Structure 1
Amino acid sequence: MLTQQFTCNYGVAYKHVVAMGTEPLDATSPPVILSTLDLLHARTRSAIPLSQEFNELYPVLYLEHQAMNFHDDGEPGLGPVVSSLSLGSTCRMKFRLKAKHQAQFEGVRPRDRTVLDLPLRHGSVVVQEGHDLQKRRYR
């Protein structure tokens, strides 16, 4: 296997470890992309009513027993709201503090720094709001 994941990008260019193209996120996008975007907008607005339109959709497919490493979603050009849609089998989304912010939060064990561990089922949407969230933690 030559890749850990299968992905594509629609909207704002995504700075990734490997070179990848970006497709437009507009009326010419495939119907599945547009319907997913509509679903994310609806679910996000139920949590944050005044949230703006998303400017990027970045679908990623992982095979069984694969996982996403800790990272932040603080790409330049992205807005303050990031919504994630989980599809397929149940998984866990863990949030941990970046080491440089550890001292500010008593009660968080220095060894793992995990501050939130969410079990996600098929169709779960996780809404994250605020640029500071991307600066202080990894997902």
Structure 2
Amino acid sequence: MKILKTLPRNHPQPRQRTVSSLVVDSRKGGTVKIAVDCRAGEYKWQHWECQNCGSALQVVGKSRSPNEFWNQQNPGFMHHKIADDSGIQVSHLLSYRSETDSGHYHIYLLPQNRGRIYLILGSPRINGLANQIFQEYQEQAVSGELQFRRWPLRSHQCRGELLTNYFSQNTGEPYQYVGGTANTIPFDGAPSAVVKARNLIQSRMMSVMQAESQPYHFNEVLSAAYMEEQRMAFHSDAENGLGPRVASLSLGSAALMHFRPLKKYRKDSGGGQKCNALTLFLKHGDVLIMDGAEVQEYYE
């Protein structure tokens, strides 16, 4: 991947922009470490803008439908792949039923009581609200109501400014990675897509965690939009102030999510796929819940 050290001074050339997938990440605090690919003018989603003179060029991309992604081929397994030596135990496919919908989910029990991971499956039958949220995210990003940005990396080893390779927007509690309070909006001023996404995550979570009598309210939503073939590097949300639960809603294209022990807990200090303890195949409408502080302390 080529990384430019600084943004060129020439005006950006138009290129159609379409979203491939969205990840709506609800949590209490959190940081993200990602790879970078810095391109001129592509730091705002709704239009190309020259950072030197401020000239803007509107480029309208195609609005994607969830139906385009539903039949994507699985990577050789249906929902998960678990390493033989991971110590992770998985439940059979469980069912849930609530006042509004019903569906299925898996529970992944981490070794030594380090927490559990829930994968609540979406499906065409129950994805009506997820479809609506996906459409609203795209419309509100194009109009500028939802201000997707590529933010400068806080830490890198190159000269000059480098931007994240994905677009994001933060709502709720300030998030230092996107500039803290200056680039975070409160929930009472959030676009409808963000509010509905948080509500859907919380509703699905309460449907499978029936032992909880009181609703669990996330106080931050980080929305991230990816182009095709983009990815996020391994990271852990173990910073101070993070609550014991992190959840996400996947919208659009399917994606693989890998979990591996932190390097200090791995027998093999190398990298690569052989270190992956758990790989999940996330599709449109899936809700993922990481429950327990030790999930972040021991895994990335």
Interval of TM-score (by shorter of Structure 1 and Structure 2): 0.7 to 0.9
Q: Secondary structure at the match of 1:59?
A: strand
Amino acid at match of 2:233: N
Aligned-partner Cα distance in 2 for 1:41–1:133: 19
Runs of 4+ in 1 over 6 A off after TM superposition: none
Picking from 167, 190, 197, the partner of 1:29 is 190
Task: Tell me, yes or no, if the aligned pair for 1:87 and 1:121 is still in contact at 8 Å.
Answer: yes
Quick one: which of 124, 131, 136 aligns to 2:286? 124
Gaps of 5+ in 1: 104-108
Residue type of the partner of 1:13?
Answer: P
* Coordinate RMSD, CA, aligned: 1.9
Going from structure 1 to structure 2, the CA distance change for 1:64 and 1:34 (only over 3 Å counts) comes to: same
Q: How far off is 1:52 after superposition? A: 1.9
- AA of the residue aligned to 1:29: A
Counterpart of 2:208 in structure 1 is 47
1:47 & 1:11 partners in 2: Cα distance? Answer: 25
Task: Give unpaired runs (5+ residues) of structure 2.
Answer: 1-38, 41-162
Identity %: 34
Distance 1:87 1:119 in 2: 13
1:1-139 mapped onto 2 (5 Å cutoff): 1=39, 3=163, 4-16=165-177, 19=179, 21-25=183-187, 27-49=188-210, 50=212, 52-103=216-267, 111=270, 112-138=274-300
**What TM-score does the superposition give when structure 2 sets the normalisation length?**
0.41
- The structure having more radius of gyration, on CA atoms, is 2
d(CA) in 1 for partners of 2:194 and 2:179? 21
Q: Give CA deviations for 1:101-128 in whole Å, capped at 9, x if unaligned.
A: 124xxxxx65442111000111111110
Partner letter of residue 57 of structure 1? V
- When normalised by structure 1's length, the TM-score is 0.84
Q: Which is bigger in relative contact order (C-alpha 8 A, separation at least 6)?
A: 2
Q: How many residues align?
A: 131
